[in-house]
Structure 1
Amino acid sequence: MKSLFRWSHEEGYLQMNPASKIKEPKVGKRIPKYLSEKEIELLREACHSAMEKAMFEFMFSTGCRIGEIVSLKKNDINLSNRSAIVKGRGDKVSEVYINIRIEIWLKRYIDNRNGTDPAIFVTEVYPYRMSVAQMIYNQTNLKSCRNK
């Protein structure tokens, strides 16, 4: 109603807005959705290659966004102290810590990976840095495997 009266007033249909002093109700905070332990394990099982497992574990355990993971380079990872430097939104640089699972899968993936691109996650056909769209495609395939 308030939007309708505001629009009518702005367009000149009404001389004054009768709803201008009405306060809008406060909208409750949205409770974030999360995965159950069973769903997490099903997603882990849906990962077949070392790249998929490393990617999933990195996203799940660190909470990094896809864009942050795509921009990761080999020299951003420090396996000796189990940390990684990620570049986020607005070029904000932060350090995330990785667990044993990530370390194992990253080592396996990087050791068996083709190509010399400095990026961590590269495409399989011709090894070059994976784009955000390609990463999303990979994650969508995991989710569809989970639903089967």
Structure 2
Amino acid sequence: MQDLIGTFIHYLAVEKGLARNTTTSYQLDLNQYRLFCRSRRLDPLGEGRGAVMAYLLKLKKDGRAPATVSRHLAALKSFYRFLVQEGVISTDPTANLESPRLAQRLPRVLTPEEVDRLLAQPRTSSATGLRDKAMLELLYATGLRVSELVSLDLADVNLEHGFVRCFGKGSKERIIPLGSVAAFYVSEYLTRARVKLTRGINTPALFVNQQGRRLTRQGFWKIIKKYARQGCITKVITPHTLRHSFATHLLENGADLRSVQELLGHADIATTQIYTHVTRTRLREIYDRTHPRA
């Protein structure tokens, strides 16, 4: 079973081109399933349906959230489909198993005023402050995922023609327009700050830490939380807050859903449609606050 999981993870990484974070998550979930089967003396290949059902029941009894159970089931479904495809088993034991119904949670977004306040916090007189300003402006201007932002190389940003190239989930490439404000601060960062941070270290990374190495997602997470505190923003900030705000503000100002889908790199437009619920909620708030007979 361990060898089969290893082969499956290699398939996801090499043939499907899934990101390292995704394949690691699959591997952890499947190994947890493998250890469960071993502890219960279940054969995950010979009695797959029973093993899967017993495992899902155990997750529910342990009080795991529906989203967690759904994620584990998704990993098992992909794994067993792969085993059928490879001829290891003849039938898929997860066929017709439905994921638990998930409550749709609306993404948290900042108002344009809060975004302005957040983006005004970095002190551009220092190298790290100018880097932070460039990152925040770039993130809000493009709607990149944080993982995409920190993965950018120098060659991925074209300031002359105003666009950014990134590789999203499944290593899918997309080109995103870059606004003039973000382009200005990225240019300033490259001219005045990056060389101070790299300290002669040769790296292709666009954004680097004070040791001259590529900035990590965790490093960015600390940065945005610091500026949210400085800007007295009381809303809960997540690494995707500016991405959610980017999409919501585009739709509020008349962008069509398909264009936003393309900019965000969503494979399914249903994923993008959640932002229409956010804009409707905001419109209701504005109506209730401003209409004399609301």
In structure 2, what is the equivalent of residue 36 of structure 1? Answer: 111
Count the aligned residue pairs.
Answer: 123
Q: Which has the larger share of helix?
A: 2
TM-score between the two structures when normalised by the length of structure 1: 0.75
Cα displacement string for residues 35-66 of structure 1 (whole angstroms, at most 9, x for unaligned residues): 11221111022122211111001111111011
2:121 — aligned with what? 46
2:221 aligned to which of 126, 136, 139: 136
Letter in 2 for 1:117: T
Q: Give, in whole Å, the separation in 2 of the partners of 1:40 and 1:46.
A: 10
Distance in 2 of aligned mates of 1:101 and 1:108: 11
- 1:118 maps to 204
Give the structure 2 partner of residue 101 of structure 1. Answer: 181
Q: What is the match of residue 150 of structure 2?
A: 70
- Write the distance in 1 (CA, Å) between the matches of 2:186 and 2:102: 42
CA distance in 1, matches of 2:120, 2:205: 25
After TM superposition, give the deviation of residue 30 of structure 1 in Å. 4.0
State the 1:95 CA deviation.
0.8
Q: What's the TM-score once normalised by structure 2's chain length?
A: 0.39
Off by >2 Å, runs of 4+ in structure 1: 26-34
Between the aligned partners of 1:130 and 1:27, the Cα distance in structure 2 is: 34
Higher relative contact order (CA 8 A, sep 6+): 1
| Correspondent of 1:55 among 118, 135, 151 | 135
Encode CA deviations 1:61-103: one digit per residue, 9 max, x unaligned: 1110110001100011111210111111221211111000111
Q: CA deviation at 1:27?
A: 7.2
Cα 1:28–1:131, aligned 2, differ >3 Å: closer, same or farther?
closer
Partner of 1:3: none
Question: For the residues of structure 2 that align with 1:50 and 1:129, how far apart are their CA atoms?
Answer: 16
Q: Choose between structure 1 and 2: higher strand proportion.
A: 1
Aligned AA for 1:122? Answer: V
**Helix, strand or coil at the partner of 1:133:** helix
- Offset at residue 28 of structure 1 (A): 7.0
Letter in 2 for 1:146: G
RMSD: 1.9
Change in 2 beyond 3 A, CA 1:27/1:87: closer
Question: How far apart, CA to CA, are the structure 2 residues paired with 1:27 and 1:95?
Answer: 32
Distance 1:45 1:29 in 2: 32
- Distance (whole Å) between structure 2 residues aligned to residue 132 and residue 29 of structure 1: 26
Q: Which runs of 5+ in 1 are unaligned?
A: 1-6, 8-25
Letter in 2 for 1:132: R
Percent of matched pairs sharing the same residue: 24
- The letter of the residue matching 1:50 is L
3-state secondary structure, aligned to 1:94 = strand
1:83 to 128, 150, 163: 163
